[in-house]
């Protein structure tokens, strides 16, 4: 069973969090596919049973999903009904609003949000990936 991680490529910290999450998840599951939002195609993502989507805080007061990540979510066929996790880089202010905006955009595409997290480091993302309970139904 495959797991997909779609992440915003505009900030290096999000890529590092995605890498840490991938390493932890691979210890549990095996195959984890990474997809930056600037990829030319998203082949294979629709086959993933669980989707992780990572973003960053764009603004403290009016946090939104970065446009490139939102466009990537709109382009991916067949993600409706997928179980999904949202994550952002921990920044303190605006973090909750950024998560809410990201989850809203994911739900518009039909994703079923299981959980949301903010990570402060690659190691924290790795530890979460190792211990997260994945529901396989």
Each residue of 94-103: pLDDT tens digit?
888 899 999 9
pLDDT at 85: 95
pTM over 0.85: yes
Whole-angstrom distance, CA of residue 95 vs CA of residue 63: 8
Are 24 and 56 in contact by the 8 Å Cβ rule? The answer is no
Pairing of strands 50-55, 31-36: unpaired
Q: What distance, in Å, lies between the first and last C-alpha atoms of the chain?
A: 11
Q: Which domains occur in the chain, in start order?
A: 2-131 (3.40.50.360)
Q: What percent of the chain has pLDDT over 70?
A: 97
């Amino acid at each position: 069973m495959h797991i997909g991680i779609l992440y915003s490529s505009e900030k290096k910290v999000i890529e590092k969090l995605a890498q840490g999450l991938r390493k932890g998840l691979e210890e549990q599951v095996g195959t984890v596919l990474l997809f930056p939002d600037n990829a030319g195609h998203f082949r294979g993502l629709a086959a993933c049973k669980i989707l992780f989507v990572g973003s960053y805080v764009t603004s403290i007061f009016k946090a939104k999903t970065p446009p490139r990540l939102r466009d990537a979510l709109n382009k991916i066929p067949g993600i409706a009904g997928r179980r999904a996790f949202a994550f952002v880089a921990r920044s303190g202010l605006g973090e909750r609003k950024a998560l809410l905006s990201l989850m809203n955009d994911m739900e518009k595409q039909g994703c079923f949000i299981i959980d949301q997290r903010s990570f402060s480091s690659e190691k924290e993302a790795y530890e979460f990936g190792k211990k997260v309970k994945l529901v396989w139904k």
